[in-house]
Each structure stands twice: as structure tokens, then as C-alpha cells.
Structure 1
Amino acid sequence: MIRLFVGLDLPPDLCDALQRLTGGIPNARWTPPENYHITLRFIGEVDEDQCDDIHDALTEVRAPAFPLSVAGLGSFEAGSRAHTLWAGVDKEPALLHLRDKVERAVVSAGMEPERRKFQPHVTLASVKQAPLHKVQDFIAHHNLFRAPPFRVERFTLFSSELGRTGPVYTAEADYPLDLAAAAPASAAPVEAAATAEAAGPQGRGRGA
């Protein structure tokens, strides 16, 4: 069995900018910069035949390349406690378009439809054991964070394996996006997320 998800890798300069935000929350478990990503579709554990079917379906996804920005901070909470600290992602229409295409491909490969609302974000830390007021202070201090936009030119099928110090993500295949096609136009101002490829794939190693 192999544990999979589909996501977007982040450029090194953005990873460096996000890493510079980290620190100052007691008991937080900070995500290493090599694990920063934006999840498009969590898949979970599948066997090799299912993995091949998913890969084949993803090779059929056609969507345009597009610019994307990471901005703002927030947290996911359960009851009165925060459990995940994240950096927000602009709800770019082209991102939602790509996510929908990926979702249809994964379902066509035999997976159950995703029931959860799509909330694009970059996980910065697990804060289950951190004092809530420290998490809130951190978000308030850094909430004006906005990184320069980067161009999304591919999406990636990742595998995830639990290591001694946390998960290890490996890029199993890349799926290029169409660099010539026009991305869907935005009809409304950009909104930060999570408020509460035409060529064949290429295998590669996980980058920072």
C-alpha cells in the first residue's frame, strides 16, 4: 500500500519566506520547509493497481498555468483548541478550476468523492500542545504577510511515508499545465483561503 495526495510544490524563495516566520510558539511542531506544499486532493492509502489508475487519470488533466499568491495566517480549530497553523492561499479561479479537474480524475480512477470543502493552505505547524493565546498572538503579529505571486506550471502526485521525525513526502510524478492557455478570469476580488498538466508526467525527487 502507498499513501498518496495530489498537490502543488512551492518555489524555494517562498519556502524561505515562510520558514522565516516560524518560531515563538511554545510546543509547536514546525513543518520543515521541504514539506511545504498546497494540497489539491488527499487520496490516502491505495494499492499499486489503484496508484497506476490514478496516475493514468491525472495524465489526462488539462488546465492552464496560472499565478498564485500565499497571504495571511490562520488556524484550524477543534472546539476551543487550535490544532494546525497555516498560511493562506488566494482563491484564484484557476486554482479552483485545477482542483476540480483533479477531483474528477481521481474519482474516475475509482476513489470516493471528496466531501470536505476545499480550503487551500500551507501547513506551517501543528499547535495541538501550544497555548492558544500564543497561537493567536502569532497570527495577529504576522497576519499581513503576503509573498510575491509565483507561477504554477505543474501539479504533482506525492507519496507520504511516516518517518521518525514526521512525514517524508516524495514526488512520484509531475503533470505539466498548459503554458499557453488563458487561465479563468476572476470575477471578484481575491479572497484568502481557509478562514474559520498537456505533456506526460515525469518522475522526480522531492525538492525544497
Structure 2
Amino acid sequence: MRLFVGLELPPALLHAIGELRGGLPDVAWLPPETYHLTLHFIGAVTHPHLLEEIHHALSAIRATPPVLRLDGPGLFTPTRPNAPDTLWVGCAPDDTLMTLREKVRKGLNRAIPAGGERNSRHFAPHVTIGRMERPDQARRQRWLATTLPATEARTIGHFTLFQSIRHTDGPFYEPLEHYPLHF
């Protein structure tokens, strides 16, 4: 099974981000129920004992609940030829969010043997909302100039271990376990 750790978004943020759907033609928009903020991608886990180690590592994390603030639209351009651009909405890198991400990363790097995915690349907090095939520069600029609906910052009370399940009509993210955060 493919696993990752992330934050589920409260309804107000899901709604605000969902309002951006349909702003561009020829975009494969992801459904709002798939929106999340990834803290750490784990990858394929095939041994039950490793799943138990991951659970123990995540259960041991103590952190202040992060505050999510939407920070504007953006896109990742692909490094592979003919791959789509990834459209996303950024979240301000709040200190509590960055601390939680680092605790998750360090805990999982201790729990996963050297063969596991270490995932130490730069962390840019964002929520992926769509993919755009072969966009031209004007479409990119139009997307980047999109105004976000006004939303208040939201405190997130737990983080989640997800299983990523691939379906023919897109990904499905099943929450496997919630880990509460305390002040």
C-alpha cells in the first residue's frame, strides 16, 4: 500500500479552494474531497511490521496544532517532457506547521529502514487542485493571477496517515489513522 502523512482540511478551506475550480479550460480538476496538505510521502509499504513502526513513530509526535492560511495559487511545471503542470493553492508556512512537518519527517526517517523513501526535499506547503495539459504562457499567467476567496486561518487539530488508492477516475485517499495534536 502507498502511504503518506497529511492534514485534512476543514470545510471552510475546502469550500474556498473548491471555488477556484473551473477558472481555466482544459484542466483536470481534482474533486474537493481529495484536497489535503501532504506533510510527508512515505511510499509503498509491503510489510505489516513496518506499518506498525510507522504508527508508533506518528503516535509519539507531540506538537502544537498548526494554523493554515491560504496563500495564493501557484503551479509546478514538470521536468518530464509532455507532463502536465500541477495547479495548487499555497498555505503560508506557519512556524507550527513547519515544526510539525519536521517532527513527522524525523520520526518517519527513524522508523523506516534505509531502503524507504527519505523525503527530505524542500517543503512547500500546498494543496494540489488540478493538472493542466500543455498550457501556454498566457494560461499560466491567468491562473497565477486568480484571486482567492477571503478565508480566515484555521487551526488543525490532528494529522492523518493516509493510504493512496489509484482508481481509473482518479486517486482516492483513505484515512487510516488520525493523530491528535495538543497545545
Secondary structure of the residue aligned to 1:14 is: helix
What TM-score, normalized to structure 2? 0.89
Aligned partners of 1:147 and 1:131: how far apart in 2?
30
AA aligned opposite 1:21: L
Is 2:126 the partner of 1:121? yes
Aligned partners of 2:96 and 2:52: how far apart in 1?
26
Unaligned runs of 5+ in 2: none
Aligned partners of 2:150 and 2:159: how far apart in 1?
22
AA aligned opposite 1:78: P
* Counterparts of residues 33-182 of structure 1 (less than 5 Å): 33-47=32-46, 48-78=48-78, 83-110=85-112, 111-142=116-147, 145-178=149-182, 181=183
Aligned partners of 2:55 and 2:89: how far apart in 1?
29
Q: Report the CA distance between 1:56 and its aligned residue.
A: 1.3
**RMSD of aligned Cα (Å):** 1.9
AA aligned opposite 1:123: T
Structure 1 residue runs of 4+, over 6 Å off? none
Aligned partners of 1:86 and 1:112: how far apart in 2?
23
Equivalenced residue count is 177
Secondary structure of the residue aligned to 1:17 is: helix
Aligned partners of 1:121 and 1:91: how far apart in 2?
9
AA aligned opposite 1:115: S
Identity of aligned residues (%): 38
Aligned partners of 1:88 and 1:146: how far apart in 2?
14
Aligned partners of 1:165 and 1:131: how far apart in 2?
26
Contact kept? 1:83, 1:127, Cα under 8 Å: yes
Q: Report the CA distance between 1:97 and its aligned residue.
A: 0.4
AA aligned opposite 1:140: A
What TM-score, normalized to structure 1? 0.79
Q: Report the CA distance between 1:162 and its aligned residue.
A: 0.5
Aligned partners of 2:149 and 2:136: how far apart in 1?
22
